[in-house]
Structure 1
Amino acid sequence: MRTALGAAAAVCTVTAVLPGAAVAQAASVADGGGAGVERISVAADGTQADDNSAGASITPDGSRVVFSSSATNLTPDGTTGGDRVYVRDQRTGQTRQTGQLRPLQAPVISGDGAYVAYPVQWVNDVRIRQYQVSTGATASLNCSAYSCNQPSLSGDGGYVAHVVFSPRQPSFGQRIEVQNRSTGADQTVAAFGHTYPSRPSISGDGRYVAYQDGKTEDVFVWDRTVGTASGPIEGPSAKASLVQLSDDGSKVVYLSGSDTYVHDVRSGTARLVPNARGLAIDPTGRYLLYAPQDTTGPSLTLLDLWTDTDETVSDRPATAGAGAVGAGGRDVVFQSTADDLVPGDTNGKSDVFVRHFS
């Protein structure tokens, strides 16, 4: 069921959207691809994970989900001892372990589902390992002999936006770079003399990179074609933290105070979603996944920014991250310890679920 939102109020270049109280209940297991909730942190035969699973992202078409898990029974050759990364193919129902190393951050997946990347400990440094899902082939980003992390993949995995920590900055600091997987060439997007998180987020075509200056709490958008950055997009008087750039490069979601803003890259205007913590945006920039600040309602809600309507993703305690929403808002991946979202959830662990909307 959809809940209509109140009339939007325009103030300067910011449009306010008032999240309504969504009333839809999370369904049980999805039936034949229809609406409902499906648990995907399971083995190919449906056996539930024997330990915690989390940190999931989904491809735009909903065909593949990447997540991390410390379970040992998701694949026949599951690795023991700490988290590993898995890719669930929704078309075949197969779950595959991708790489043998422990992820230091949530894994990310390319838009076509062909590549997965995540940072790992490498001797005394941190390296980003990129894996081809179909073959398991690996590649490590050239980080100029220094640590790199916070990867973001373009639609075909050909470009990787990431952060390099280097003592060659004015003081020990960081660079945001985009590396071309085919040539190994790097393009510097920005450099900071500090190590506050930058959270780069690259568009599907690799043209735009959104990032934050974590020290000044400003958000910027870099256009790789013209080699310039716009911003801070939140204006000079506000403080902001980046959530995600939409796959088409049209929208940037950022947080400021207790509110969420959706910035339109083309017009330079922003849309306010008050009393909401934005978590992710779908590839088209139309659907915003958020957690209401009001803890008496649903834990996760999907807002259609065109029609100002809400849909409940989960009315049980749940969390999600960037990359959690498929194109058109049809699929939303999240994690929860709730044991009543689907039948037979008896492991008492955090599981990964997909909410399907018909």
Structure 2
Amino acid sequence: MKPMEVTPTTVMGPLMLTNPYTPRQAPHQLDGRAAEHEAIRAKRLAFSMGGLVAVVTAAVSLPASVSAAPGGVPGNKPSFSPDVSANGRFVVFGSDATNLVPGDTNGRRDVFVRDTQNRTTRLVSKGLNGRQSNGASYFTNISDDGRFVSFVSRASNLVLGDTNGKDDVFRADLSTGKIIRVSVGAGGVQANGASEGARMSANGNSIVFGSAASNLIRGDTNGVNDVFLRDISTGVTRRLSTTSQGNQNLASSRAAAISPNGSIATWVGPVGFHDAVYRWDRGTNKVTISAEPSEGVGTLRVSNGGPAWAEADTDGYNYYYSIRVYNQPATSAFIVEYSNNTMLNEFDVSLWGNMVAFANPDTYRVEVRDKTTSDLSSDEPLAAVGSAEWRGIAFSSDGNKVVGVDTAGQIKLWSWRTNAVTIVSVN
């Protein structure tokens, strides 16, 4: 849900939106939400979140209840890049804080998961035998059920035999505590180049990532960053970022993303002297070009219905910026336009691409647009959260919870139906 990549030196996190419908719903079932969306528009509700003013369309209006930190103390340093499980119970994030769990003395950015139901915070990026990691960890994702967490780390003590001295991609199984390295080649050979930007399917099995390594597959001789897919269940790593004819690219590819059901992967890659949006379909194993924006591609996302991207265009006099979302049916484009001099890089899409959330640079609001129930040309969003300091946002699959980073660098969970706001980055 970048490619505004969250590294240990980057403050801004991504705008991420997991789908507002359950993974089992088919596209035709989304229309049944129309009546609910109309009810949601019945009342408008405003609240203040630590300097963050939010204006939301809500079905009910209850007194705001901002809880500083139920059962815990907020982190003593900033947190970043949150993601949230399907029902909003589990929130994963990176943090520089040292007081979220006992004995955190490694002085590195770590990955944590907060169980909002049991009010517990758990260290995810843990070294072998329970030791602290010896390197920074970041770029977090969590599976829909909250069991798996993927992240990038430069630590060398998360798994046995990590001697490459490179940033690698890992996946933690929270049910067993086991961490595996994802950015590996055949037989588990470790990468000879750095890996980055991991994205995980909803079930935690398929993970796409970028890597400069040349030994993850045979015949990788182009010497540039490529996009790879690792399927955990089969142990197979494959390169996705080829041309439509199956040839190696001569320039780097970036911004990998994978659909919730793992059937579609997208990335930004070269075509001629400019960038294009590439798409790989698991069913056909074919690579195609979805778009070639004339003035560049920004953040890339993908739903089960197809890719979505931020792009820039020009008529020779003015520049125009938009988000283009392809959903079900795939021929139907869902477009959010913005005619100013800023790429709409902070956004994400819902399960089937029927909803898009984005940060509006003019109003400083995070807006949610619904293709099925609202006029796309309307300035009236389904919901909006506003602040120039709002760093990142994640929307739970059930559509009930929003997670973001406030002005103090704390992760907050907002249940918009009850208007309750809780700090999540706590011990």
TM-score normalized by the length of structure 1: 0.77
Contact (CA 8 Å) 2:306, 2:330: kept in 1 or not? Answer: no
1:221 partnered with 2:260? no
CA–CA distance in structure 2, aligned partners of residues 35 and 265 of structure 1: 38
CA–CA distance in structure 1, aligned partners of residues 196 and 151 of structure 2: 8
2:353 is matched with which residue? 285
Q: Which amino acid aligns with 1:326?
A: S
CA–CA distance in structure 2, aligned partners of residues 303 and 58 of structure 1: 20
1:356 is matched with which residue? 415
2:100 aligned to which of 36, 50, 74: 74
Cα deviation for residue 135 of structure 1 reads 2.7
1:264 partnered with 2:327? yes
2:153 is matched with which residue? 120
1:97 partnered with 2:123? yes
- 1:258-304 superposed Cα distances (whole Å, 9 cap, x missing partner): 3222122643332221125541223343332211121xx34322222
Question: Relative contact order (alpha carbons < 8 A, sep ≥ 6): 1 or 2 greater?
Answer: 2
2:263 is matched with which residue? 207
Contact (CA 8 Å) 1:203, 1:209: kept in 2 or not? Answer: yes
Contact (CA 8 Å) 1:284, 1:328: kept in 2 or not? Answer: no
Query: Unaligned 5+ residue runs, structure 2?
Result: 1-42, 51-61, 127-132, 157-163, 186-190, 243-248, 313-320, 339-343, 375-380, 418-427
Query: Unaligned 5+ residue runs, structure 1?
Result: 1-21, 338-348
The 3-state SS of whatever aligns with 2:152 is strand
1:12 is matched with which residue? none
Contact (CA 8 Å) 1:333, 1:353: kept in 2 or not? Answer: yes
The 3-state SS of whatever aligns with 1:166 is coil
1:334 partnered with 2:375? no
Contact (CA 8 Å) 2:110, 2:138: kept in 1 or not? Answer: no
Contact (CA 8 Å) 1:39, 1:354: kept in 2 or not? Answer: no
The 3-state SS of whatever aligns with 2:234 is coil
1:317 is matched with which residue? 389
CA shift in 2, pair 1:234/1:355, >3 Å: farther
- 1:153-198 superposed Cα distances (whole Å, 9 cap, x missing partner): 11221111122323464431133222121231123222433335x1
1:177 aligned to which of 211, 224, 228: 228
CA–CA distance in structure 2, aligned partners of residues 104 and 218 of structure 1: 30
1:188 partnered with 2:239? yes
Contact (CA 8 Å) 1:260, 1:278: kept in 2 or not? Answer: no
TM-score normalized by the length of structure 2: 0.66
The 3-state SS of whatever aligns with 2:72 is coil
1:153 is matched with which residue? 200
Percentage of identical aligned residues: 19
CA–CA distance in structure 2, aligned partners of residues 355 and 280 of structure 1: 18
Cα deviation for residue 107 of structure 1 reads 1.0
Q: Which amino acid aligns with 2:411?
A: V
Cα deviation for residue 237 of structure 1 reads 4.5
- Work out which of the two has the higher radius of gyration on C-alpha atoms and give 1 or 2: 2
Cα deviation for residue 59 of structure 1 reads 1.6
Q: Which amino acid aligns with 1:118?
A: F
* Equivalences, count: 312
Contact (CA 8 Å) 2:241, 2:269: kept in 1 or not? Answer: no
Contact (CA 8 Å) 1:59, 1:113: kept in 2 or not? Answer: yes
CA shift in 2, pair 1:329/1:285, >3 Å: farther
Q: Which amino acid aligns with 1:352?
A: I
Q: Which amino acid aligns with 2:307?
A: V
Cα deviation for residue 85 of structure 1 reads 0.5
